[in-house]
Chains A and B, each alone.
Chain A
Amino acid sequence: MADLFEGYPVGVAWDEVLDADGRPREHSAPLVDALRELSPEDLDVRAAALASAFRDQGITFSLSGEERPFPLDVVPRVVDADEWDLVERGVSQRVRALEAFLADMAGEQAVLGDRVVPRRVVVSSSAHAPAAHGIVPPNGVRVHVSGIDLIRDEQGRFCVLEDNLRTPSGVSYVIENRRAMTRVFPELLATHRVRPVADYPAMLLAALRAAAPEGVLDPTVVVLTPGVFNSAYFEHSLLARLMGVELVEGRDLVCRDGEVWMRTTGGEQRVDVVYRRIDDDFLDPLHFRPDSLVGCPGLLNAARGGRVTLANAVGNGVADDKLVYTYVPELVRYYLGEEPLLPNVDTYRCEDPDQLPEVLDRLDQLVLKPVDGSGGKGLVIGPQASDEELATLRAQLEADPRGWIAQRVIQLSTSPTKTPDGIAPRHVDLRPFAVNDGDRVWVLPGGLTRVALPEGSLVVNSSQGGGSKDTWVLARDEVVAEGETTHDDLLPAAPEGRLLDMGNAVLADQQQQQQQGRVTC
């Protein structure tokens, strides 16, 4: 039988499965052995089965307005228990530090007074939201859900690439990838002791309930989505279904006298916790964009009055701004008195007049990222950019240095991936998801491994032609392997009762000019 790994090249990048001599790393030996048992034809069949499973369920992402399947690679990524232990502790540490930073910024701002972070860096962030000032989250949590993007450098070290503390998406792929792999590759899973990911909705629901306003014994939680045209709508509906809570749009909610109500066929129902998947800018037209039709006016003041909890909190974006990112290791030391377990990628602050000239000198060697871009949007990889692109970039940088950071080009680790020409190394990253219930930061054992499908590509975002891999975190030897549970066992069925469609109310601005031309002044 042909060896699927024959001719698998070992490059500069760290390979997740094979070491520099082409031998399987210890934790990946069972995977390599199992794959070697398979014929290329067999692998093709499994891959086709995975693809059709996704297509049938409508798991897609939208690329420039067009819905496409989000390809799941047939070869899983296996993470060893010890390594995961570091990831888990490192992610949790980071989230705790970022929570402390957000709480400090909402309060006495000691971090600015102590000159750990310049004030200008925080208030110049496009996510800085003065309108949310004074909202005190009931259990102190602002980052209920986060996705911390990790990469592995050439030495195999996990580093943090960026933090996502607003409305991070992708966890639905983690859940669905596992479901599909369980169906299509049961014997491969059986050779590994893989920690389950199906607990996620239960953990999320518990954290959301724990965040409810004080005195609410049996909180009503809803998932607020911008609607079916949003690229993550599938995820919003999946999470609502798996948590057994209502999926609502802005027009289904009404704020009245500081309380939030949901319109249902059974009448109006009080809402206590809103897991909102709408960006700050569109959440409440009274405070943010007045033309937003997907939000609900009054939400922010209801949260300010302590009658409803918004998860995640409004204004979290100042903590995941990519310029603020460069200060996070300092924040970990400042707030927690600990050394960061997961280092940052070395980053230039273009905003710093001392660092900008070096960046401009080496544009063709660096990766340039807009500070508020997500999903790889606006990112420029210097070595791959044309002279024209570099010239445009230079002008943008000179006009708005605060808008950019620069990093060296890191050869992200590779993982064996099925390609039309057999198994070949492709670059991957990892987004672990963390849920903070106020008592602890729980990290879902798994996370989303994204893979850059074109050969040599370093851009893994789904919006940039990436796919994903099921991420298998191995259980420790001494722990009795946890059985694969399905969410159907864990959670109640979704409640009955359809939402009333009230149509979009036309919201018009009313404001008055200062001193509308009268007598004296």
Chain B
Amino acid sequence: MSWRLRIRHTTGYAYDTPVLASFNEARLTPVTDVDQLTLEAQVVTSPEAEQQRYWDYWGTQVTAFDVHRPHSRLVVTATSVVDTADARPAPVVSGWDAVRSPEVRDRFVEMLTPTERTRPDEEMVVLARKAVEGLDPHDAAMAVMALAHERVAYRPGSTGVATSAQEAWSQGSGVCQDIAHVTVALLRAVGLPASYVSGYLHPRREAAIGQTVTGESHAWVEVWLGGWWAYDPTNTVPAGERHVVVGRGRDYADVPPLKGLFSGGGGHRLDVTVEVTRLQ
């Protein structure tokens, strides 16, 4: 059964002294593809700014804007209404040849190559390879996801925006961004193409229609098993009707919800809220 969700994602920056100019890119608009239909989407900024929209290399819709008058506060509000679909069954893959052929390796080379944030250390590689010994690709993917979930405990505030997979692994904790990075690193280490997915999660399995709840900016992974398959290693469930995809990339750096530069301003404080309402 599919769900219809409304998302309201508000990001506020408060600056110690007024900012004179800022340049920003928001990746906050959910994708439309076979499993998801974005019915409405808009990004509103305060102060108001002219917006430029484009689709980036990874297929994510970007809203770029810059502000050129002094401001002490910048608020970006993204709202969208999205139809999501049930989790897909994992693709049936015949064997390792199908996912490790030279053609597959070349086609998905970017999703097989470690990035700065997803480079595994030796222990990660050794344990991942050991975990998948004798398994077919699907079971191997499940084993690796379980390993990531087991080794990196979900602990809010234990990591920061720039934390790498190695750091989260060695400290044994992180948030979903870190768990997704670790999972992606381990999947790639065993030769499975994997991408990082940025989006939202409705926190309740049995969500009441019409009730607005506090949701999450969330991250999970997709793995290539002869077809892309989305799985949420933080919650150990396949991504389904509660998950809203905004973008896919090699790691967080390809799909940051908001990134920007500002001049002046000194320090700043960040305040983020995500509200999710199941509409049907």
Contact = CB atoms under 8 A, between A and B. Distances in A.
A256 B106 CA distance: 40
A290 B176 CA distance: 25
Given A505-B20, A521-B234, A515 B219 contact: yes
A305 B52 contact: yes
Contacts of A57: none
A512 B106 contact: no
Nearest to A113: B107
Interface string B213-253: 01011110000000000001011000000000000000010
Q: Which of A119, A120, A290 has the most CB of B within 10 A?
A: A120
A516 B175 contact: yes
Contacts of B264: 505-506
A156 interface: no
Contact of A285 (B107, B180, B261): B261
B154 A521 contact: yes
A505 B24 CA distance: 16
A514 interface: yes
A507 B261 CA distance: 6
Contact of B52 (A133, A301, A509, A516): A301
Contact of A124 (B50, B113, B217, B256): B113
Contacts of B157: 517
Interface residues of B, number: 64
A507 B263 contact: yes
A192 interface: no
A516 B54 CA distance: 26
Contacts of B155: 517
A305 B51 CA distance: 11
B34 interface: no
Interface residues of A, number: 39
Contacts of B93: none
A458 B270 CA distance: 57
A304 to B, nearest CB: 6
Given A255-B66, A256-B68, A286-B25, A517 B156 contact: yes
B261 A297 contact: yes
A254 B20 CA distance: 12
A507 B262 contact: yes
Given A514-B198, A517-B175, A297 B23 contact: yes
Interface string B38-66: 00000000000110101111100000101
A518 B262 contact: no
Interface in B58-111: 58, 64, 66, 68, 105-107, 109-110
A118 B154 contact: no
Contacts of A119: 106-107, 109
A121 to B, nearest CB: 9
Contact of B106 (A120, A286, A519): A120
Contact of A290 (B66, B261, B274): B261
A376 interface: no
Contacts of A134: 54-57
A9 to B, nearest CB: 51
Contacts of A304: 52, 54
B118 interface: no
Contacts of B107: 119
Interface string A491-516: 00000000000000111111111111
Contacts of A507: 261-263
B139 to A, nearest CB: 25
Interface in B3-37: 11, 13, 20-25
B130 interface: no
Contacts of A514: 161, 175-177, 180, 198, 217-219, 252, 256-257
Contacts of B203: 519-521
Contacts of B52: 258, 301, 304-305
A516 B162 CA distance: 12
Nearest to A112: B106
Interface in A286-317: 286, 290, 297-298, 301, 304-305
A257 interface: yes
B177 to A, nearest CB: 4
Given A258-B50, A304-B54, A518 B156 contact: yes
A130 interface: yes
B257 A510 contact: no
B201 A521 contact: yes
A521 to B, nearest CB: 5
Interface of B: 11, 13, 20-25, 49-50, 52, 54-58, 64, 66, 68, 105-107, 109-110, 113, 154-161, 175-177, 180, 198, 201, 203, 214, 216-219, 232, 234-235, 252, 254, 256-265, 268, 270, 272, 274
Query: What 7 A-B pairs come out closest when comparing CB atoms?
Result: A517-B156, A505-B263, A130-B57, A133-B57, A513-B161, A514-B177, A520-B203
19 contacts: A120-B106, A254-B21, A257-B50, A286-B261, A301-B54, A304-B52, A506-B264, A508-B261, A512-B258, A514-B257, A515-B219, A516-B156, A516-B217, A517-B156, A517-B175, A519-B203, A519-B216, A520-B235, A521-B203
